[in-house]
Amino acid sequence: MNKYLLPVIAILIGVAIAFITKKQKSIGTKLLLSFSGAFLLALTLFDLLPEVYHHLEADQTGLFIMLGILLQIVLEFFSGGAEHGHDNLHNRDKGFPWLLFIGLCIHSFLEGFPIHEHNDMMYGVLIHKVPVAALLTTFLFQSNYSKVQIAGFLIAFAVMTPLGTFISNNTILATEYLDIVNALVIGIFLHISTTILFEAGEGHEFNLSKLLTIFLGVSIAHFI
């Protein structure tokens, strides 16, 4: 049951952080984003990548990982890069941000596929979602959207990952193509996590706290 509940709890934690920090992008949120990028990248390389290479042909794996990277680039056209913490999202006061909503929901749905009960990727997705949810909540509450629209956005965003996990664990079709989907997700994770790390500092500069946070994320991923 944890594999379904933890991604939702991560969203709730992110929403709480947005309120606690008074809806501003705090230093703590930036450091958490850096940690999540390093942690997600390390788990992808240590856990998910070897598993996919074990089940797929090497050339197929490389192809689908590349397609995953390209897919994430397309999704960011819709989402504005919210998956890796971009806070320069344009405020669409005239209507509901459907492009942002669709892009984030597709991304969130796909990242649920590698999650299994005894799979460390569950923790990678959990840590990744907290700062993203915090920054997304900040954006939504600084907009002119109604509370109903904001609540509907966050609820849909929260349930997409458990939905992806449920489908990957309980349908025959998903089981047959699970390794292919996981290879796509590897590409998505590689793009997101490396983008976070490269953009971890203002003006692409790494200070000591961010550097230590990144090393901590990689170290924890290695030993869990």
Taking only the tens of pLDDT, the chain with its 224 residues reads 578 888 899 999 999 988 887 655 566 777 888 899 999 999 999 989 998 998 888 889 999 999 999 999 999 888 777 766 655 555 445 567 888 889 899 999 999 999 875 578 888 888 889 988 988 888 888 887 888 988 999 999 999 999 999 998 888 867 778 899 999 999 999 999 998 887 755 555 558 888 899 999 999 998 87
Q: What was the pLDDT predicted at 32?
A: 85
Q: State phi, psi for 201 to the nearest 5 degrees.
A: -115, 160
pLDDT score, position 169:
86
Q: What is the pTM of this model?
A: 0.87
The per-residue pLDDT for 206 is: 58
Nearest to 187 by CA among 66, 45, 38, 54: 66
Query: d(Cα 127, Cα 129) in Å, to the nearest integer?
Result: 6
What are the backbone dihedrals phi and psi of residue 44, each rounded to the nearest 5 degrees, phi first? -60, -45
Check residue 103 and report its DSSP letter. Answer: H
What does the alpha-carbon distance between residue 209 and residue 213 come to, in Å, rounded to a whole number?
Answer: 6
Largest CA distance in the chain: 49
Asked if 181 and 84 touch (Cβ cutoff 8 Å), the reply is no
